[in-house]
Amino acid sequence: MRAGKTVLLMFLLPAFAVLVFSFGIGLLSLQSLKSQYLINSDIQASDLLTLHQESTFKRDISELHQRVSDTLDAARKGALSDIGLYRMHAKLVDDLAEIEEQVEVLANSNLLHEVNHDSVQGLRKSFTEYRGLVIMATEIAAIDPSTANTFFIEAQSSFNQFSIFSGRIAMLLTERTMQREKEARQRHEESFVQIFVFSLLGATLIFVAVLIIAIRISGHVRDIADALSELSYNSQSDIRLPKMERLQANSSGEFGRIANVILGFRDDMVRRIKAEEENHRLIFYDALTELPNRCFLQEQLQYAVGTGSRVNNFHALLWLDLDRFKVINDVRGHQAGDDLLIQVAERLRQMLREGDLLARVGGDEFAIFFELPQKQQSDAAKEAERIALRICAGLSREYFVDGHGHFMSASMGIVLFSDRHIGVETLLSQAEIAKYQAKDTGPGTVSFYDPNIQAEINRVAELESQLRSALDLEQLILHYQLQFDEKSKPVGAEILMRWQHPEKGLISPLDFIPLAEESGLIVPIGKWVIESACNLLSKWQFNPQLRHLQLAVNVSAKQFRQNNFVEMVLSIIEQTGAPANKLKLELTESILLENVEQAIRKMKALRDEGITFAMDDFGTGYSSLQYLKRLPLDQIKIDQSFVRDIVDDPEDTVIIQTIIAMGQALSIEVIAEGVETEEQLNLLSAYGCQRYQGYLFTKPVSLSECLALVKRFLN
Which one of residues 53, 251, 298, 640 is an interface residue with ligand C2E (CB under 6 A)?
Answer: 640
Q: Which residues sit opposite 477 in a β-bridge?
A: 498
Instruction: State the amino acid at position 610 in one-letter form.
Output: G
Which one, 454 or 481, has the nearer CB to ligand C2E? Answer: 481
Q: Tell me the DSSP string of 185-201.
A: HHHHHHHHHHHHHHHHH
According to the binding rule CB under 5 A, does residue 617 interact with Mg ion?
A: yes
Tell me the closest approach of the beta carbon of residue 553 to Mg ion, in angstroms: 9
Query: What is the spatial distance between Cα 635 and Cα 361, in angstroms, rounded to a whole number?
Result: 60
Asked if 321 is part of the footprint of Mg ion (rule: CB under 5 A), the reply reads no
Min CB(429)–Mg ion separation in Å: 48
Query: Quick one: CA dihedral 392, 394, 395, 397, positive or negative?
Result: positive
Smaller CB separation from ligand C2E, 391 or 675: 675
**Burial zone of 675 (CB within 10 Å; 0-12 exposed, 13-18 middle, 19+ buried):** buried
DSSP letters, 40-74, are HHHHHHHHHHHHHHHHHHHHHHHHHHHHHHHHHHH
- 3-class state of residue 229 by DSSP: helix
Query: Which residues on neighbouring strands pair with residue 400, listed in sequence order?
Result: 405
- Which of residues 621 and 688 has its CB atom nearest to Mg ion in the complex? 621
Judged by CB under 6 A, the residue of 616, 635, 669, 690 near ligand C2E is 616
The smaller minimum CB distance to ligand C2E, of residues 365 and 616, is found at 616
Of 602, 483, 493, 590, the residue nearest 537 (C-alpha): 493
Q: Is 508 in the site for ligand C2E (CB under 6 A)?
A: yes
| Residue among 366 and 480 whose Cβ is closer to ligand C2E | 480
> How many angstroms separate the first and last alpha carbons of the chain?
114
Give the residue, chosen from 141, 148, 305, 496, that forms a contact with ligand C2E under the rule CB under 6 A.
Answer: 496
Q: What angle is formed at CA 408 by the lines to CA 403 and CA 413, rounded to 5 degrees?
A: 150
Nearer to ligand C2E, 445 or 693 (CB): 693
Smaller CB distance to ligand C2E: residue 11 or 695? Answer: 695
DSSP string computed for 470-495: HTTTT-EEEEEEEEE-TTS-EEEEEE
Q: How far is the CB of 638 from ligand C2E (least distance, A)?
A: 11
Residue 586 binds Mg ion (CB under 5 A): yes
Among 317, 529, 585, 636, interactor with ligand C2E by CB under 6 A: 529
Q: What is the x/- site pattern for ligand C2E, positions 431-470, by CB under 6 A?
A: ----------------------------------------
Beta-bridge partner residues of 476: 499
For the stretch 659-664, contacts whose Cβ atoms lie closer than 8 Å and that sit 24 or more positions apart, written own/partner, are 659/618, 659/619, 660/687, 660/688, 660/689, 661/688, 662/625, 662/628, 662/636, 663/636, 664/688
Nearer to ligand C2E, 103 or 497 (CB): 497
Long-range contacts of residues 253-257, Cβ cutoff 8 Å, at least 24 apart = 253/4, 253/5, 253/6, 253/7, 253/9, 254/1, 254/3, 254/4, 254/5, 254/6, 254/7, 255/6, 255/220, 255/224, 256/6, 257/1, 257/4
Our measurement of the distance from residue 217's CA atom to the centroid of its chain's CA atoms, rounded to an integer in Å, reads 29
Smaller CB distance to Mg ion: residue 166 or 554? 554
Residue 411 pairs in a beta bridge with: 321
| Residue 577 three-state SS | coil
Cα–Cα distance, 573 to 566 (Å, whole number): 11
> Cβ of residue 666: shortest distance to ligand C2E, in angstroms?
21
Coil, helix or strand for 97?
helix
Min dist CB 362 to ligand C2E, Å, is 48
Q: At its nearest, how many Å lie between Mg ion and the CB of residue 637?
A: 6
Binding characters for ligand C2E, 573-612, by CB under 6 A (x = yes): -------------x--------------------------
Q: Which range in 59-67, 465-473, 563-571, 608-616 contacts Mg ion by CB under 5 A? A: 608-616
Rounded to a whole number of angstroms, the minimum distance from the CB of residue 686 to Mg ion is 22
497 binds ligand C2E (CB under 6 A): yes
Closer to ligand C2E by CB, 382 or 498: give it.
498
Q: Per rule CB under 5 A, is residue 364 in the interface with Mg ion?
A: no
554 binds Mg ion (CB under 5 A): yes
Binding of ligand C2E by 550 (CB under 6 A): no
CA distance linking residue 693 with residue 698, whole number of Å: 8
Classify residue 297 as left (phi > 0), alpha (psi -120 to 50) or beta.
Answer: alpha
Nearest residue (CB) to ligand C2E, 454 versus 698 = 698
Shortest distance (Å) from residue 636 CB to ligand C2E: 12
* Secondary structure class of 654 (helix, strand, coil): helix
Report 667-706 residues binding ligand C2E (CB under 6 A): 673-676, 693-695, 700
CB 388 → ligand C2E: shortest distance, Å?
A: 30
Contact footprint for ligand C2E (CB under 6 A): 481, 496-497, 508-510, 513, 526, 529, 554-556, 586, 616-617, 640, 673-676, 693-695, 700
Contact footprint for Mg ion (CB under 5 A): 554, 586, 616-617
